[in-house]
Structure 1
Amino acid sequence: MAKCSNTTFKLEFVDSLTKVDKQQWQALFADNPFCHCEFLLSLEQHCLGQGSGWYPQHILVFDGSDIVAAMPGYIKTHSYGEYMFDWNWADAYQQTGQDYYPKYISAIPFTPVSSRRIAIAASHQQHSEQIISAVIKGCQYLQDKLQLSNSQWLYIDKPTSDILATTCPQRIDLHYLWHNRNYQDFDGFLAQLTSRKRKNIKKERAKIAQQHFTFQWLDGAQINDDLWQQFYRFYVNTYRYRSGHDGYLNLPFFQSLSTVLRQHVRLLMVADQTGEFVAGALFVVSDDTLYGRYWGCEAGDDFLHFEVCYYQGIEYAIKHQLAFFDAGVQGEHKLIRGFEPKLSYGNYLFTQQPFAAAITEHLSQQNRHIQMALERAKQYLPYRKDG
């Protein structure tokens, strides 16, 4: 457990959440299931560490003996599983004979969900800027000690990103989010779309209805190991088809979710006319948001994908009065299905100044393009102008 101090707060770096007071960590991240201690610890125990390229190095901020802020963090030896890609920067380093890896990131492994990365106790909110400054100094200390090329905060909340941006250049990217505007049912949502877009969605759903699939939502208490095994088979099949590998997560991790995210995990299983499961999707629920995380099937079917990953999720959010549905990153095809574009944020702290200046300029240009793309994307939304 390494330590780093400034005049007010003491920072400690821990290489495992087994070394952290779980109750204190949980109190800081109570509103975000992906930052719950047990969830991150399950990732750590089943999917990270030796040979994975992800090595936990979390930051704890102390005021006396009390943890008043915390940040999940990982030393990385590659850029897989991050979703705010920096491969071109790594190539630039390599071409000049310098090492881009290892680097340090604050992110949720394999989970591009925007949320707080630096969680600060309610009692210390008035010290937020001072605590964030201490965290930046801690990252600089870590970079110097371990010869890391940079530190990154990925999918960080905008208020914290804006504070970081005074020192650590900000990056923006597009994300797509469905908003529940007090719809009573799916037809109520469709009624807000233009006639053409409404008809297209109805056609897609009709093609699935003709195949007489059965859709079954299960919560954490209902998902047994056999169901996880079937879902995992679909997950691996889809990853192999799309990416040529088995995916980043393994069966023991998925099985652990029935315990570590028991109140938040949802599994949607799809059965054909014979009752055999042919597809499945994993979701996570917070107080106001449904998150679509992974899906898989026996054989590729775009319409089944749209039904399972989008339309079933929209119906679930409406039924359970959730304000938002986040179906995952990328995919402009979400626009025409009612998912609205929004910005995601990242920040970067580079050790080597020549690269820092070039990357800062690159980010400035890229951010301008993203802002323009955001405005263009809004023009393709399917909602009626009089809605």
Structure 2
Amino acid sequence: MPIQTLQRLSDLDPREWDGLLPSPQQPFLRHAFLSALEDSGSVCAAQGWRPAHRLLRGADGRLRAAAPAYLKQHSYGEYVFDWAWADACQRAGIAYYPKLLAAVPFSPVSGPRLLGETAAVDELLAGWAESLDEAGVSGLHVNFTDPAADARLASRNGWLERLGCQFHWHNRGYRDFQDFLDTLSSRKRKQMRKERDQVAGQGMAFDWREGRELSEAEWDFVHACYANTYFVRGREPYLTRAFFSLLAERMPEAIRVVFARQGALPVAMAFSLVGDGSLYGRYWGCLAEYDRLHFETCFYQGIDYAIAQGLTRFDAGAQGEHKLIRGFEPVLTRSWHYLAHPGLRAAVAEFLAQEREGVRHYAEQAREALPYRRDG
């Protein structure tokens, strides 16, 4: 069957799309999340993200395979950085944009990208790669894949693997935060206690809320905090104010927001999603500077919450090394790239072979810096 391109996810029945998601469902792949990005204007052609979702139906009309996809005119909001590839193409007179990206916008979270039955996904992939020249795009990129997609893409000719490294916290059956602290070296325990005491000494209290419990005024505050993290760096935020209200309407059960309050006044927030046994910390913001408040709101509060709720993992976002000394362990991530131009493909393949070795070495070194006790 021919591959269809869907330019607006809201035109597809959510039950069809979500019916392809493996169980337990990750929140970022749900129809509610992806359609909220589009319907809020956060993801659209004007922002350089033109939806081009791929669908494959059987002879009976049933949706058999799909992938969230976008025609990109830039590389912002992807967290797999290929600016150097684009610059090299420009110098060589090769068009790098538009490119086709299979990913979740603004969300560096590994998960399913190729949805549906094995045979149907293989058919979708084959047709996709063959249509690049006709579509006028330089290549197809699949970011932050799960093991199923890794195995499938590794077995196909022409696909290039890229590694990245993130830091995730794992719940090993801790009874409470103190139980977690007891697994750390003495020096690191003291450092974490000191950081938490410094925040408490500023009169901070924390309040966890689910999506259905927030008023529109509170969503105004959430967005203002989120947007401020971009404004202070001279950038525009990716997400519009409408995105938060739409998401709260469509999947409130997956939303968690923790407010930091000084007295009765909210001063900061961290926005997270829950699903598939994990807590995903996504957005943070503060309207004034407070010592150590970021670490408490974004990391320690999340660890506390994950333990209390019996969640197995806490993914607090893409960046870095400051998580390592707080018990977040290095985890390799993968993306895959199919480049139409043979010269570009050869050059990138050579670069990625060296980069993969460096990333693996970095992750091994990072593990040595973890704060856990090495008894015996």
TM range (shorter): over 0.9
Residue identity over aligned pairs, in percent, reads 39
Question: 1:191 — aligned with what?
Answer: 182
**SS of equivalent to 1:337:** coil
Does the CA-based 8 Å contact 2:196-2:296 persist in structure 1?
Answer: yes
Cα deviation digits, residues 292-315 of structure 1 (max 9, x gap)? 000000123451000000000000
Question: 2:276 — aligned with what?
Answer: 287
Question: 2:34 — aligned with what?
Answer: 40
**Following superposition of structure 1 onto structure 2, how do residues 299-338 of structure 1 map, counting pairs within 5 Å?**
299-301=288-290, 303-338=292-327
Question: Which stretches of structure 1, 4 residues or longer, exceed 4 Å deviation after superposition?
Answer: none
CA distance in 2, matches of 1:287, 1:90: 36
Question: 2:200 — aligned with what?
Answer: 209
Equivalent position to 2:57, from 55, 59, 62 = 62
Question: 2:351 — aligned with what?
Answer: 362
The alignment status of 1:349 with 2:338, answered yes or no, reads yes
Deviates more, 1:107-116 or 1:29-38: 29-38
Equivalent position to 1:25, from 17, 28, 52 = 17
**SS of equivalent to 2:190:** helix
CA distance in 2, matches of 1:269, 1:246: 23
**Following superposition of structure 1 onto structure 2, how do residues 111-126 of structure 1 map, counting pairs within 5 Å?**
111-120=107-116, 124=117
Deviation at 1:386, TM superposition (A): 2.5
CA distance in 2, matches of 1:209, 1:131: 54
Deviation at 1:14, TM superposition (A): 1.1
The alignment status of 1:253 with 2:243, answered yes or no, reads yes
CA distance in 1, matches of 2:214, 2:299: 21
The alignment status of 1:230 with 2:246, answered yes or no, reads no
Does the CA-based 8 Å contact 2:204-2:260 persist in structure 1?
Answer: yes
CA RMSD in angstroms, aligned pairs only: 1.4
Question: 1:267 — aligned with what?
Answer: 257
Does the CA-based 8 Å contact 1:103-1:148 persist in structure 2?
Answer: yes
Equivalent position to 2:163, from 168, 172, 179 = 172
Does the CA-based 8 Å contact 1:237-1:246 persist in structure 2?
Answer: no
Deviates more, 1:162-171 or 1:218-227: 162-171
Cα deviation digits, residues 248-301 of structure 1 (max 9, x gap)? 00111111121122110011111112x111101100000300000000001234
Letter in 1 for 2:265: E
The alignment status of 1:75 with 2:71, answered yes or no, reads yes
Question: 2:87 — aligned with what?
Answer: 91
Letter in 2 for 1:221: R
Does the CA-based 8 Å contact 2:165-2:363 persist in structure 1?
Answer: yes
CA distance in 1, matches of 2:328, 2:115: 28
Deviation at 1:165, TM superposition (A): 2.1
Letter in 2 for 1:49: C
CA distance in 2, matches of 1:89, 1:162: 25
Question: 1:137 — aligned with what?
Answer: 126
CA distance in 2, matches of 1:135, 1:301: 50
Cα deviation digits, residues 195-249 of structure 1 (max 9, x gap)? 11111101100100101112111101101110010111111222111x3123100
Aligned residues between the structures: 370
Question: 1:147 — aligned with what?
Answer: 136
Structure 2 unaligned residues grouped into runs of 5+: none
